[in-house]
Structure 1
């Protein structure tokens, strides 16, 4: 695939988050928005339940978890606003800097170094004996001190995080729709 400039992708993400930060409260509080607009851009049922706290089409937030949903909503909105506040200065710095880590220019020498290291890792992985592979990887780690070999924690940590996220999603869906 064609590489996409990261700055443009972040600019689009910032725009989307800003639109959501404005649109969600606007959709929930405005009565002048036509129903077809709400239907096209948001789940009218969820917006109504969130802002009115009433039952709509047989669904509502259970009374015992309304406060938790309000707190979670505020946390998500706060984190989104915090992300925008952190990302916007970085985008502006990238536009102003001609070179360096914040610039939009590709560092072809660094890309070449990464590519050659990836080739060396691929060659080290081709050993049929795991001990020879480990020796090659340790040699690469000595040559490149920033190269981190995987550990049990770095392998299972993301998997545990993914499972925890899945469980939280299931619990959230269950409490929202029960």
Structure 2
């Protein structure tokens, strides 16, 4: 059996010491990296220009096609939905979670609502100064605007929201008729 002298022991321990230090540095780096990743995941979504946060969409730390598509659709429908609800209210209807399949809207009401939603779509896609009336007229004549409105109503129904007539009291009807007078 070979006996180790003092110099050989120092060399062996020095190599083990360097190996132990390298392993410790690697482990500390891994723990730091894990902590950084957890911190990035827990980070709150950034605020938009209005200081509001989306309540439905959580922003990812990396931009992916799916995340970008979700964000763009959210902004698009945030622009269209108020026009849809306002048009329904103006026509004497509302979205309600109570009820069943929507009654058929009168043709004139349906077309007017389709036209307003098409106008909102065109304004969102082109901007406020663009000439859109020809496109709106074309989409109304081809039936594209009406099909879009039908899909919007169908999607609301699949989410449990139905187009229902507003129950108006006789006082409201009377007050609304006087508000239209000069």
Q: Is this a same-fold pair by TM over 0.5?
A: no
TM-score (norm 2): 0.23
Rg comparison, structure with higher value:
2
Name whichever structure is richer in strand by fraction: 2
Name whichever structure is richer in helix by fraction: 1
TM-score (norm 1): 0.23
